[in-house]
Amino acid sequence: MADKILIVDDEPNITSSLASLLGDDGYRSEVAASAEQAADRLDRCDFSLVLLDLNLPGKSGIDLLREMKDRGDPTLVLVISGQADIPTALEAVRLGAVDYLEKPVAPEKLLSSVRSALLLAAANRQRTLMVDDLDSRSRIIGKSKAIRRLIRTIDQAAPADATVLINGENGTGKELVATRLYLQGRRRDKPFVKVNCPGIPETLFESELFGHIKGAFTGAVKDHPGKFAMADGGTIFLDEIGDLPRGCQAKLLRVLETGEVETLGAQERRTVDVRVICATNRDLAALIKQGRFREDLFYRISVLVIEVPPLRERLEDVPLLAGEFLGRFDPSGGTRLSAEALGALTTLDYPGNVRQLKNLIERITILCSGRTVRLEDILPHATAGRGGVEKYQGQAPLSERLRNFEKTLIKEALEGENGNIAAAARTLGMDRANLSKKIRDFGLK
């Protein structure tokens, strides 16, 4: 469907000629003779672009721009006006106009500006869809004390622009935490660029992160902006920064300290405004003692530190996680976990953390598609080793292990709510009277 454009001008001959010109180029258009009419049409219909004259009867075009900005209207505005003084043009741009053209405008110049604005509008719509999709796929699942503490920390850190270091074992969800920091931050409508530090060869580090121009080195057949330039205005996520070669660390430190990017082959440096989030599964303090990680870089990236707990420290979240993954891999709901199978899942140590649980659920969803997953279906695919299947196959019967698990879950909920039974019942999603009975049975109060 062709883009729809709103023409706002009080001169009929101008609106007629603009509508004809746009129609010949395949665009649909509507006309408003005042700011009030334009506001009414914007409320009733979605437009890709507004062509706005500033000198209107009643409210001015500047007034309309200001109102659109105040109510968060994302529709792009291209100003076409005979009122071409510099202060007015600057005010229009400050209020969100994407361009300012002086009347009379050559048809090709106008169409070129319209096409550019519509490309920007399409990019903005696509980014909004991507961010919304990212938001829906990046929920942090769990009600354990450790997860509630993690979410509180994210809520505190997200609005700030300070550099964040995320510590955690492989598979705990460090990238998920970085994504939540981005989505809850003030830069969520700007780029989010992810960099896998171990995946960049040392010889290509500068080129990948800071960019190069054509001919800067053998094989540089075209300009490359680099990750930091791509993230300008937004957020860059440096994953597994502990694996970054020491020779690259000084170059990264320089950019973090100055905000200046030196593109290979370019004469001038570029200043970037980027929020930096780093993650590692390594003990950076130990690497510093070994001379493998720069101490000054560590202090630069660890203004805020977030610890992501391993799954073995929040096993009470396993049922919620398992249910979420089952829903993803079998949206029909035909594959279900029996109580015995779920009990087995809550007793493993998960050296691979949430990633291991996710892979296990995907595997049994394929192998047990459309039926109830039994205990014997789980055990052959669960990882043995440090407290794994061997722990589950110990002497304690399943009923006892499930009882201990339930007791631990209730105890942590009570501790998290400072002994408030009603609040703990809400946290656990159960009836207060039933919870009170279990508290007495378990001797918790």
Q: Give the model's pLDDT for residue 86.
A: 72
Beta strands in 229-371 (DSSP E): 235-239, 260-261, 270-271, 275-280, 304-307, 336-337
| b/e sequence 388-427, b meaning 16+ C-beta within 10 Å | bbeebeeeeeeeebbeebbbebbbbbbebbeeebeebbeb
Estimate the share of the chain in helix, then strand, then coil, as percent rounded to the nearest 5.
50, 15, 35
What is the mean pLDDT of each successive set of 10 residues along the chain, which is 445 residues long? 83 89 88 90 88 88 88 85 73 83 85 84 66 67 91 94 95 94 90 89 83 70 81 93 89 90 76 94 95 95 96 91 90 87 85 93 92 85 48 52 71 79 80 84 78
Cβ 98 vs Cβ 78: under 8 Å: yes
Query: Chain centroid to CA 98: how far?
Result: 26
CA contacts within 13 A on the Cβ side of 184: 19
What number of H helices and E strands is found in the chain? 20, 14
Q: Give the model's pLDDT for residue 200.
A: 85
Tokens of 144: 């354990």
| b/e sequence 86-97, b meaning 16+ C-beta within 10 Å | eebbebbeebeb
Pairwise CA distance, residues 350 & 346, whole Å: 10
Q: Give the model's pLDDT for residue 390.
A: 44
Tokens of 15: 């609106």
Which residue's structure tokens are 């408030």? 420
Q: Give the model's pLDDT for residue 132.
A: 60
Q: Give the model's pLDDT for residue 382.
A: 66
pTM above 0.85, yes or no: no
CA distances from 297 to 12, 138, 165, 242, 285 (A): 63, 29, 11, 11, 12
Pairwise CA distance, residues 52 & 103, whole Å: 12
Q: Give the model's pLDDT for residue 262.
A: 83
DSSP state for residue 379 in the 8-state scheme:
G
Q: Count other C-beta atoms under 10 Å from residue 171's C-beta.
A: 20
Sign of CA dihedral 42, 45, 48, 52: negative
DSSP state for residue 382 in the 8-state scheme:
S
Pairwise CA distance, residues 239 & 306, whole Å: 14
Name all domains of the chain by residue range, CATH numbers in brackets.
Answer: 4-131 (3.40.50.2300), 142-309 (3.40.50.300), 312-442 (1.10.8.60)
In this structure, which amino acid lies at residue 49? L
Pairwise CA distance, residues 42 & 407, whole Å: 57
Pairwise CA distance, residues 84 & 135, whole Å: 42
